[in-house]
Amino acid sequence: MAGINDTPGDDPRLSYQEALALVELPPLPSSAGTTSGSVRRFMSTSPVYVQTTDYPRDHPLWGMHKSGFGGHVYAQSGLAAYKVWKSVEDQKGAKSHERLGIHTIHGYFTLAAKPDRPFVYHVQVLTTLRSLATLSVTAYQPSQPSTNPKADYFPLADGSLPLEPPSFTGIVSFKLAEAHSSGVNSQEAPPQVRFADILSSRPPSEWAPSPITDIEAIVEYFAQENQSIVGLFPMVDVKKVDMSAYNRDKPPHERREIALYRLVKPLPSPADGNDSVLVHAFAADRNGLLMVGNHNGLGHKFGKAATISNTFVVHENVDEAVMEYGTGEGKGLGNEWWVMEYSFPRTARGRGIVVNKIWSPKGVHVATEYQDGVVRSNEASQRVKL
């Protein structure tokens, strides 16, 4: 079965700028400007992606999962912080070599994302140094659905609705670009080398689409039905490499999963490394905790997976994170695929951690995601509530 979005013409998957679009709201009564201590507010205008709505409407899995994708609020929080910091630098008249790039995003998830209402972000500058700045971001959602009954976009009026307690709280840091210190630049061999035999066995585009819901029982069901659904996951096309032979007979902490990804539509022009960093952060959140369950024997009795905390660290200057759009194969601008390498070093006490390394097409370890979250069996989920 072809994917539900495998149709001629334009790709219906949302671009980065469409999925994470923000409008600025009026300042709070006691806050104005962008100096330390003030708060600026933004509101999302596109609904958060919900994975199980990608299944056919007559399928039993359609609408099974009501919550939105957590990577949306995570990456959009980074974008809201970037907008504020960029305006601070613009006001200062900062030259290109003086501008800071996204360095880390640290965040905590406290309420599930509701797709029928926007996110409202409160952003505050905390510290400003020549080479480092930190901003806090708190994301809220209204306590009632959007004033647009279809909830296919969120009008400005939604920004005046009363708010629930925070859905997400985070700190975003920005750092000045610099050269390698005394030429020091070390990393392990990239997956393109360590898994060369596997990755070279077929062109990247011929690997299966990343599962909409990467739970073993669901994946097996669709395999039996010989179905492949691409879905409407925004920003990037993601392929999952078959690592089953490599992982066989290994304990969970030694196993690896590999995903290949590239843009579905061009980024805003001119290219900005910070925009690309946020695409990587968005993509990195996909399916990680579900794979933790699969590798720890919960794939046929999955109860719950939910992120508690997520940290994204950029190891390079943001220029190394820039993604180019392309649709071909082989070497060439935009044709090459980025690599996510997942590992699962610890699972216990109803939680698991995912370490997801982001590798460039050239084999540079650009960033790492450290995601800690709830991973429970269906029996445990009936006894415990976060």
Examine the pLDDT at 259 and tell me if it is beyond 90: yes
Torsion of CA 297, 344, 278, 174, to 10 degrees: 150
pLDDT tens digit string along 63-78?
677 899 999 999 999 9
Q: At how many degrees (to 10) do helices 273-284 and 70-92 cross?
A: 160
For residue 64, what are the contacts with CB-CB under 8 A and spacing of at least 6? 52
Give residue 223's pLDDT band: very low, low, confident or very high (50, 70, 90): confident
The answer to whether 19 touches 49, Cβ cutoff 8 Å, is yes
Give residue 384's pLDDT band: very low, low, confident or very high (50, 70, 90): very low
Q: What is the predicted pLDDT for the residue at 227?
A: 64
Alpha helical stretches, state H, the chain: 16-19, 70-92, 191-194, 196-199, 216-224, 244-247, 273-284, 288-295, 378-383
**What stretches of 116-268 adopt beta strand conformation (E)?**
120-128, 132-140, 168-176, 236-240, 257-263
Give residue 36's pLDDT band: very low, low, confident or very high (50, 70, 90): very low
- Mean pLDDT confidence for 350-371: 97
- Mean pLDDT confidence for 102-124: 97
**Of 27-31, 74-78, 286-290, the least confident:** 27-31
pLDDT tens digit string along 300-336?
998 899 999 999 999 999 999 999 998 777 666 667 8
This model's pTM is above 0.85: yes
HSE-up of 347 (CA within 13 Å, CB side)? 24
